Amino acid sequence: GLSAFLQDYVVDKGVSVRSLLEVFSEHPSLSASVPDFQLLPLLKHHLVRFYRNRPKLPAVNTIEDVVELIKKSKHIMVLTGAGVSVSCGIPDFRSPTGIYTRLNEEFGLDDPQQMFDIEYFRETPELFYSFAKELYPYNFTPAPSHAFVKLLEDNGKLLRDYTQNIDTLEHVQGIKRVLNCHGSFATATCIKCNYKCDGKDLEADIMAKRIAYCPKCSDGPHAQQKEAAGSASHSAGTAALLGGSTHSGNGNDNDDDDEDDDDDYDYGVVRGIMKPDITFFGEKLPDEFDEALLLDRENVDLLLVMGSSLKVAPVSDIMGHLPHNVPQIVINKTPILHLNFDVQLLGDADDIVAYLASACGWELRHP
């Protein structure tokens, strides 16, 4: 894998990044004045491309081969995406009827991913809260695909489930060895003061499609109205004591200047808004992700990708961190063309895992 390669050659053996680029780059043209550490991102880019070109294992070709692999494997790494939750009533992201298409149609966003951009959330949280109800794990039941991952765990075969989903249905299913790569609705944090709470505390706001404000910061509209009313009352009292009056609204007053000053004061001010602990674009994945992957890559003997198009890094780069001799299988509605999987089982994930479970001699129980 990429991390192990860099550790072995750059850290332990002291091979220069420049020398490695001459091997992995087709047309290296590097200025001698550029220091080694500045070339490291470029080396990583070329290494990712190299690992993505992993050759297919010639002995793994059919669904029968997949069944045999599942039977004999003891450390199966599972990577689940939005496709495993579609049958639960939770929309996926990139299909023609998915979240991004709907966001584009309903809100006219140039880039629908803005809804999950941390800077956009700071400025326009109402966009996220107007749509969060569609994603919130309210009264959803896990799918057969979740039950299949639990079967792997119950049979002592699950190394870990790396889920890209934020719906917490793995936890509802009772899966213990699960890592929420992109966080979840289970908890929430204030973007201003870092106050934390249970995700359930935001449920009423999410279901009502209104912004959830931090109870500690008191930046909500009610608090602002109360503060404004108190300020106006204080101003009126002071004016009365001085024999003057409050603002009369005549044409000689600088109304526009006052409004502009208020706008300047508010611009860029971080409000105390609660954000579910979902990893947005522009935020780093939890350290647990890197730590778990570093450990698991030494033990994994089979990779199962379920319901993911593998378009979002760094989770999409997991395959590049695994030894090339580890079989890689994908279960998905549509084929994945930018990576070399040994077998792609295409169709409804729930139907496919039901067949796999039966072929392994397991009973897939699902309500």
What is the torsional sign of CA 31, 34, 46, 334? negative
Report the alpha-carbon distance of residue 281 to residue 115 in Å, rounded.
Answer: 9
Report the alpha-carbon distance of residue 298 to residue 301 in Å, rounded.
Answer: 9
Number of residues that this document lists for the chain? 367
Report the alpha-carbon distance of residue 59 to residue 84 in Å, rounded.
Answer: 28
Question: Cβ(50)–Cβ(24) under 8 Å?
Answer: yes
Q: Looking at residue 12, what DSSP letter applies?
A: I
Residues near 230 by beta carbon (within 8 Å), at least 6 away in sequence: none
What is the torsional sign of CA 75, 81, 83, 85? positive
Q: Which of the following is catalytic: 27, 146, 182, 234?
A: 182
Closest CA to 117 of 104, 107, 128, 106: 128
Separation in Å, CA 355 to CA 191, 241, 348, 363: 45, 84, 11, 10
Amino acid at 21: L
Report the alpha-carbon distance of residue 31 to residue 245 in Å, rounded.
Answer: 72
Report the alpha-carbon distance of residue 238 to residue 233 in Å, rounded.
Answer: 9
Q: Looking at residue 317, what DSSP letter applies?
A: G
Question: Cβ(184)–Cβ(277) under 8 Å?
Answer: yes
Q: Is 321 an annotated catalytic residue?
A: no
Q: Looking at residue 9, what DSSP letter applies?
A: I
Closest CA to 84 of 148, 135, 133: 148
Residues near 25 by beta carbon (within 8 Å), at least 6 away in sequence: 42, 46
Vertex 317, ends 313 and 322: CA angle to 5°? Answer: 160
Catalytic machinery residues = 182
